Amino acid sequence: MTHEEILQVLKDSGALLEGHFILTSGLHSGQYIEKFRILEQPRYTEMLCKEIAGMYKNDKITAVAGPMTGGIIISYETARQLGVKSIFTERVEGKMKFRRGFTLSPSDNVLIVEDIITTGGSVKGVIEAVKSCGAKIAGLSCLVDRSNGEAKFDVPFNPLLVMNVVNYEPDECPLCKSGSVPVKPGSTNK
Ligand SMILES: [Zn+2]
């Protein structure tokens, strides 16, 4: 798939919203990605994970790992297509950990995946968790890197799509200045 086709999937699924939003960070933005509009549709998730799996099909991956919550779904579908196991990390007292008896050994070659990378904090936690098992990391992928180049990793990083999203401080927001009222995504039906 080309970048345009991936972007079209985001639009078709309703994941890419245009308007005036208050982000979790408190910043305002004209765009918002509601990843669960993709993750709730297995056909879209399958389509995009196929692209991730395709990039690593010759890398002898033995396991795919992602962070809770959305990363579980991306990990599961990518692993299904690669025919390997899928595991996930959860936050335990602020630290990303494998629980539920998930194990990796030094002979494992792991692909790490995530849905949307904004700060990269969760994914860094997964990288640490995999390293602490002594396993190798073949690479990291995600559906969208919207960190504006801020998320940097010490493993090869291959996002499907890089989106530069412009965020504004509330008192400098041109959308607010034009009289528009921002909404918190997820808090309304719009
Ligand atoms: Zn605003």
Helix, strand, or coil (residue 144) = strand
User: Ligand 1 center to residue 144 CA distance, Å?
Assistant: 23
User: Ligand 1 center to residue 31 CA distance, Å?
Assistant: 11
Pairwise CA distance, residues 169 & 91, whole Å? 29
Q: What is the pLDDT of residues 137-148, one digit of tens each?
A: 999 999 999 999
**CB 161, CB 3: distance < 8 Å:** yes
Domains and CATH numbers, the chain: 3-177 (3.40.50.2020)
Q: According to the model, what pLDDT value does residue 24 have?
A: 82
Amino acid present at 93? E
User: Ligand 1 center to residue 20 CA distance, Å?
Assistant: 6
pTM of the predicted protein model: 0.92
